[in-house]
Amino acid sequence: GKDGYRHYMDKELHEHPLVIGQTLQRMIDPATRRVVLPELPFDLATIPRITVTACGSAFYAGLIGRYWLEAEARIPVDADVASELRYREPPLSKGGLGLMISQSGETADTLAALRSLRAGGQHVMSILNVPESTMARESDIVLDTIAGPEICVASTKAFTAQLSVLACLAIAIGRARGVIGEAREMELVQALLDLPSRAVELFGLGDDIRAAAAIIAEARDVLYLGRGSHFPVALEGALKLKEISYIHAEAYAAGEMKHGPIALIDKSVPVVASAPSGPLFEKTASNLQEAQARGGRLLVFTDPAGAARMGKIAERLVVLPEVHGFTAPILHSIAVQMLAYEVALLKGTDVDQPRNLAKSVTVE
């Protein structure tokens, strides 16, 4: 049942801290605090390339994973939605790894992509929430997300569980390839282990998130912006808003705004940004400033170190707890999901069962 929550989505949003903790527990040895993967039928150190594929939110998790895999493991990564991957006929490297991500393990497009990657000689690793699913049976190795059943059609906790697994995988591959040393691994593992308690703190931000939601609920179109690993956070925020509030939202890499979408900006198009402090912060801030100068109403998710700078331009700030830059996209994803939920409440939509959508899409 809903355990006293108004919607499954609300209940599942509140399960983020638990689910992240449980999923990490599977992958991090408590004694050594190092990432451990199940035994693999291939050698992680010699994989030439990874092809990540999935649909919807699971694909956005994969995009965040790509930033981690490239930066921390220095491995080439190709990522595409499952319904496109096969038809692109990408040249596959011999002995490469096909990395599938799916909550249900039954999504027809992802399953078809799995089969075509296997036919192309790739090892198949799947990050799945349903261990007895079709994709689980057809994979060489499954990494489990311990999210429990997800009832709401819009994915929430499964997404952060997927991110938790991807972060650990990037660390494991980085170590296998000799690019992550012990100190860096300890630092990243600590950042991950800090997440559940930081995620609990998000639930104290309800008033700020509701204030931002009130602005969005009045809009017909919303722009979501982010840079680097926060660009997929923007994609996830926009998808969630569309799914449950039926408000049109589009996500752009913050630097792309001036190449077109800025023409849309006026006071009727709110701009939501995921912009934690860090190397990309100042660039994002100046992109946002351009939007503000054109009358855009900015709703900015940042952290304590970014609050002063963003406070000068944003109409609404949501100040998330300070976390390591590596794990910030996980925390920000939860925040944009919470925002979509608050907007849907204001709109009075059927949050758990949005029109036209099914929980598991089993046709290609």
Q: Is-catalytic flag, 359?
A: yes
| CB-nearer residue toward ligand M6R: 93 or 353 | 353
Closest distance between ligand M6R and the C-beta of residue 14, in Å?
Answer: 17
CB 139 within 8 A of CB 100: yes
Question: Least distance (Å) from ligand M6R to the CB of residue 103?
Answer: 3
Q: What is residue 234's three-state secondary structure? A: helix
Task: Compute the least distance from the CB of residue 357 to ligand M6R, in Å.
Answer: 6
Q: Quickly tell me which residue has 């092809």 as its tokens.
A: 51
CB atoms within 10 A of CB 112: 16
- The residue type at 159: F
φ/ψ of 75, rounded to 5, equals -115, 140
Rounded CA-CA distance 331/334 in Å is 5
Q: Rounded to the nearest 10 degrees, what angle do helices 56-73 and 231-245 cross at?
A: 170
Nearer to ligand M6R, 287 or 337 (CB): 337
- The least CB distance from residue 256 to ligand M6R, in Å, is 22
State whether the Cα torsion 354-273-68-88 is positive or negative.
Answer: positive
One-letter amino acid identity for 215? I
DSSP 263-313: GG-STTS-EEEE--SSTTHHHHHHHHHHHHHTTPPEEEEE-HHHHHHHHTT
Smaller CB separation from ligand M6R, 104 or 284: 104
Residue 75 or 79 with smaller CB distance to ligand M6R: 79
Instruction: Give 114 or 217: the residue with its C-beta nearer to ligand M6R.
Output: 114
Measured from each CB, the residue nearest to ligand M6R is 56
CB of 59 to ligand M6R, least distance (A): 7
Residues near ligand M6R (CB under 6 A): 55-58, 102-104, 107, 110, 153-155, 243, 357, 360-361
Residue closer to ligand M6R by CB (options 57, 274) is: 57
- From 118, 128, 101, 105, select the one nearest 42 (Cα to Cα): 118
Q: Rounded distance, CA 333 to CA 208, Å?
A: 16
Q: Could you please report the per-residue DSSP string of 39-83? A: P-SS-GGG---EEEEE-HHHHHHHHHHHHHHHHHH---EEEEEHH
Report in angstroms how near the CB of residue 243 gets to ligand M6R at its nearest.
6
Catalytic residue among 242, 283, 347, 359: 359
Q: Which residues are catalytic?
A: 359
